[in-house]
Amino acid sequence: MQEEVIVAPKRQPKPKWLRVKLPTGKKYTELRSLVERYDLHTICTSGSCPNMGECWSEGTATFMILGNICTRSCGFCGVKTGRPETVDWEEPEKVARSIKLMGIKHAVITSVDRDDLKDMGTIIWAETVKAIRRMNPETTLETLIPDFQGREDLLDRIIAVHPEVVSHNMETVKRLTREVRIQAKYERSLGILKYLKDNGINRTKSGIMLGLGEKEEEVIQTLKDLRDVNLDIVTIGQYLQPSKKHLPVKQFITPDQFKKYEEIGLEMGFRHVESGALVRSSYKAQKHLT
């Protein structure tokens, strides 16, 4: 009996519009030198963000707090999963010093999920914002937060320090949420964004990835759902598979289609819509203050 051979699907070749220009410029070179000299940690470098040069030249950078090991195992994310390290209570001051050294005008702070902690990391979150404000009073802030399991008492800690922008990503359409985000819930994330807006956050923001098998009508419905909770800013980018262990790319979205979603979003009333293959959560983040 002949053994059946199952051939794994080939990874789709990247289209030409996904080619990334190498970052250049005096400001980028200066910041890269500082990051390497002082061993500063940014998502920009560790995540090999395609927009690093552009963002750095405009004085924007993204920092990740609470370690680099996540308690969740989302199918799209390249961050390690496992048992996180002990909380570093000096981290808020370290991040604030890094921002000062780099001369960052607008900082985006994000983190792994810390479901292992009673406060899910929100105390460190709040202390980090406070430390940045003390050391860098002119620096504006965006916090890209996890869902904190939807607990309003934990969200209140973020609201209390009042970042200029609070972001929480939907990541994908409702139908694919369970497959893509596993422990997350679509309605819970919408509820978080509504709670933030209803309780004094002036600018709320979210992001979705395309190319995971979603349909156009599902993307449009997700945009409608976000506007229904008075979201201000949305980013739409192309999903890229971090490794063979992660969810495959089902489709590369064309520039024309990204443009169509941008126009639809603006017609819906979003304050800002960033839509393009290389768009990431913090892309043009400083612009979202206007």
Contact (Cβ atoms closer than 8 angstroms) between residue 282 and residue 55:
yes
**pTM reported for the whole predicted model:** 0.86
pLDDT value of residue 196: 98
- What is the pLDDT confidence band of residue 150, given thresholds at 50, 70 and 90? very high
In this structure, the chain runs to a length of 290
Residue 192 has pLDDT above 70, yes or no: yes
* The pLDDT value given to residue 54: 64
Mean pLDDT of 109-128: 95
pLDDT, mean over the chain: 86
The structure tokens listed for 237 are 């980018």
pLDDT at 27: 64
Compute, in degrees rounded to 10, the torsion defined by CA atoms 252, 243, 112, 290.
-30
8 Å CB contact between 285 and 106: yes
pLDDT digits (tens, 9 = 90+) for 208-221: 999 999 999 999 99
**Percentage of residues in the chain having pLDDT higher than 90:** 59
Residue 74 marked as a ligand binder: yes
Domains of the chain: 23-289 (3.20.20.70)
- The answer on whether 73 is annotated among ligand-binding residues is no
Q: Determine whether the annotation assigns residue 77 to a binding site.
A: yes
**Mean pLDDT, to the nearest integer, of 139-153?**
96
pLDDT category of residue 69 using cuts at 50, 70 and 90: confident
Q: What are phi and psi of 276, to 5 degrees?
A: 180, 160
Give CB contacts under 8 A, 24+ apart, made by 47-52.
47/78, 49/280, 50/20, 50/278, 50/280, 51/278, 51/279, 51/280, 51/283, 52/23, 52/28
Task: Please state, in angstroms and rounded to a whole number, the distance separating the CA atoms of residues 114 and 226.
Answer: 25
Do 35 and 45 contact (CB within 8 A), yes or no? Answer: yes
